[in-house]
């Protein structure tokens, strides 16, 4: 795992108004700053601070930040074995499996989807493994073998409801020959069913495991109804993305773009009737921190900061930002009276009892609850899904706002 860089950026924004120069100072101390209440987790940051982190913390995959999980996809992995005991590569050892599944989950969390893996099903069938008795070590295995594997006699049709993605891990992928089996996949579009072949050597490196995750996530995308997407590295309108038809091992793609999310969640936009739409099942997250952490692969507690971006996990839980992708503190919006910040409230975290503790100060020493008399701040709105706070320019020559997400103390 690459080390996270976490430089602290301090900036000052001059503001001129009402005949005098107003300086809203911005700064931060290393988190956690203060623990002032029994139930308060470390304060996230002092408002208006941009925490810049270079690159991705977890791995090389280029992906967008996650979105709050609203749907799930259930995947049934099936490993093809030959009668002589030769077994297709699945995802390597347990640590490698955990890593790859986590990366697949990170990719799909970009569109608010979590991937649930059923236990691996072992299936002994020479034809499924490599097309035996025909030899496809040099000649390309026909693509039509995909359907033959998926529907063949004895194939483990573990799902008759059309709600589970069946993923066969094979020795030679249909549409490829043995020499092309580094990482290959072939999948139905807008319907369950795929074949994947992975060279065992891929499991030896992080890049190889990322490539495996990328191709697995790509084939899931086909099953869910996505076609290949035109890409051009030099055209920002068509950035490399998960559904590129070509993947370079050195740079496995993972990004899902907005147009793809639109297709996924609109059955009318599905290309072949929308059977793949049913694979996306609505998901109601369990209202606990532990469930959220397990879902996204967060290993730290509420006061920890898994991605090192200065936003504690508890804040990311409540606000809905991604705990494994470095982000920045929510941006402020200026108006004639000050700077306003909006902090989102995710239903899962609200259900778990989490709330914001927002305080202001003019000297970084004495802190007052935001919106209280003399705090120099105003609660603009406090809604089910968000709270908006304005730090007023009248607060003083310098003003600070800080926020923590915590479980509200019982009265
Ligand atoms: Ca964080
Ligand atoms: Ca983050
Ligand atoms: Zn494809």
Could you report the per-residue pLDDT of 370-391, keeping only the tens digit for each? 999 999 899 999 999 999 999 8
Distance 126 CA to ligand 1 centre (A): 47
Ligand nearest to the backbone CA of 173: 3
Give me the count of residues in the chain: 411
Over range 345-351, report the average pLDDT. Answer: 94
Distance 271 CA to ligand 3 centre (A): 14
* Whether 25 contacts 13, CB under 8 Å: no
Distance 311 CA to ligand 2 centre (A): 6
Could you report the per-residue pLDDT of 46-67, keeping only the tens digit for each? 432 211 222 333 345 778 888 9
Distance 266 CA to ligand 1 centre (A): 32
**Of 285, 321, 290, 325, residue with least CA distance to 307:** 325
- Between strands 20-24 and 13-17, the pairing is antiparallel
Distance 218 CA to ligand 3 centre (A): 6
In the structure, what pLDDT confidence band is assigned to residue 362 with cuts at 50, 70 and 90? confident
∠ Cα 161 163 164 (to 5°):
110
Distance 405 CA to ligand 2 centre (A): 14
Provide the mean pLDDT of the chain.
80
Distance of alpha carbon 107 from alpha carbon 64, whole angstroms? 8
Could you report the per-residue pLDDT of 291-338, keeping only the tens digit for each? 999 888 899 999 899 999 889 999 999 999 999 888 888 888 888 888
**Of 20, 107, 125, 119, residue with least CA distance to 67:** 107
Q: What are the beta bridge partners of residue 341?
A: 389
Distance 282 CA to ligand 2 centre (A): 24
In the structure, what pLDDT confidence band is assigned to residue 26 with cuts at 50, 70 and 90? very low
Distance 324 CA to ligand 1 centre (A): 7
Give the predicted TM-score (pTM) of the model. Answer: 0.78
Distance 188 CA to ligand 3 centre (A): 9
**Of 40, 72, 126, 57, residue with least CA distance to 279:** 72
Ligand nearest to the backbone CA of 228: 3
Distance 308 CA to ligand 1 centre (A): 5
Q: What are phi and psi of 395, to 5 degrees?
A: -60, -30
Distance 296 CA to ligand 3 centre (A): 25
Distance 312 CA to ligand 2 centre (A): 8
∠ Cα 281 287 291 (to 5°):
75
Distance 298 CA to ligand 1 centre (A): 10
pLDDT at 363: 82
Q: What is the CA radius of gyration of the chain?
A: 25
Distance of alpha carbon 81 from alpha carbon 78, whole angstroms? 10
Distance 242 CA to ligand 1 centre (A): 24
Distance 163 CA to ligand 3 centre (A): 21
Could you report the per-residue pLDDT of 180-231, keeping only the tens digit for each? 768 889 999 999 999 999 999 999 999 889 989 999 999 999 999 998 876 6
Distance 34 CA to ligand 1 centre (A): 17
Ligand nearest to the backbone CA of 324: 2
Distance of alpha carbon 106 from alpha carbon 109, whole angstroms? 5
Distance 219 CA to ligand 3 centre (A): 6
- Between strands 281-282 and 377-382, the pairing is unpaired
pLDDT at 54: 29
Distance 99 CA to ligand 2 centre (A): 19
> 112 versus 229: which is more confidently predicted?
112
Distance 194 CA to ligand 3 centre (A): 10
């Amino acid at each position: 795992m690459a080390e996270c860089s976490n430089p602290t950026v301090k900036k000052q924004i001059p503001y001129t108004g009402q005949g005098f120069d107003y300086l809203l100072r911005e700064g931060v101390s290393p988190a956690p700053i203060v623990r002032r209440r029994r139930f308060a987790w470390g304060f996230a940051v002092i408002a208006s601070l941009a925490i810049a982190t270079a690159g991705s913390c977890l791995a090389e995959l280029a992906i967008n930040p996650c979105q709050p999980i609203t749907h799930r996809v259930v995947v049934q992995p099936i490993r093809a074995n030959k009668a002589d005991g030769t077994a297709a590569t699945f995802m390597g050892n347990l640590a490698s499996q955990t890593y790859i599944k986590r990366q697949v989950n990170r990719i799909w969390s970009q569109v608010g989807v979590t991937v649930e893996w059923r236990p691996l099903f072992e299936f002994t069938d020479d034809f499924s493994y490599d097309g035996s008795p025909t030899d496809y070590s040099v000649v390309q295995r026909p693509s039509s073998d995909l359907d033959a594997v998926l529907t063949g006699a004895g194939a483990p049709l573990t799902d008759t409801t059309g709600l589970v993605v069946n993923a066969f891990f094979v020795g030679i992928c249909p549409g490829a020959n043995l020499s092309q089996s580094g990482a290959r996949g072939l999948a139905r579009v807008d319907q369950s069913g795929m074949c994947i072949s992975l060279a065992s050597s891929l499991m030896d490196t992080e890049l190889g495991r990322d490539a495996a995750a990328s191709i697995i996530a790509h084939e899931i995308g086909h099953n869910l109804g996505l076609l290949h997407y035109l890409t051009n590295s030099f055209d920002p309108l068509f950035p490399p993305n998960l559904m590129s038809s070509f993947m370079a091992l050195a740079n496995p793609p993972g990004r899902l773009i907005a147009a793809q999310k639109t297709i996924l969640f609109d059955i009318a936009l599905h290309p072949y009737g929308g059977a793949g739409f049913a694979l996306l099942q609505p998901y109601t997250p369990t209202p606990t921190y532990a469930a959220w952490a397990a879902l996204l692969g967060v290993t730290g507690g509420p006061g920890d900061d898994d991605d090192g971006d200065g936003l504690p996990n508890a804040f990311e839980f409540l606000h809905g930002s991604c705990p494994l992708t470095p982000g920045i503190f929510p941006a402020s919006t200026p108006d004639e009276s000050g700077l306003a910040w909006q902090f989102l409230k995710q239903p899962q975290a609200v259900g778990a009892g989490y709330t914001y503790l927002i305080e202001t100060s003019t000297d970084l020493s004495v802190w007052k609850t935001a919106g209280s008399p003399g705090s120099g701040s105003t609660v603009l709105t406090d809604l089910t899904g968000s709270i908006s706070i304005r730090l007023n320019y009248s607060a003083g020559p310098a003003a600070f706002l800080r926020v923590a997400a915590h479980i509200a103390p019982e009265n």
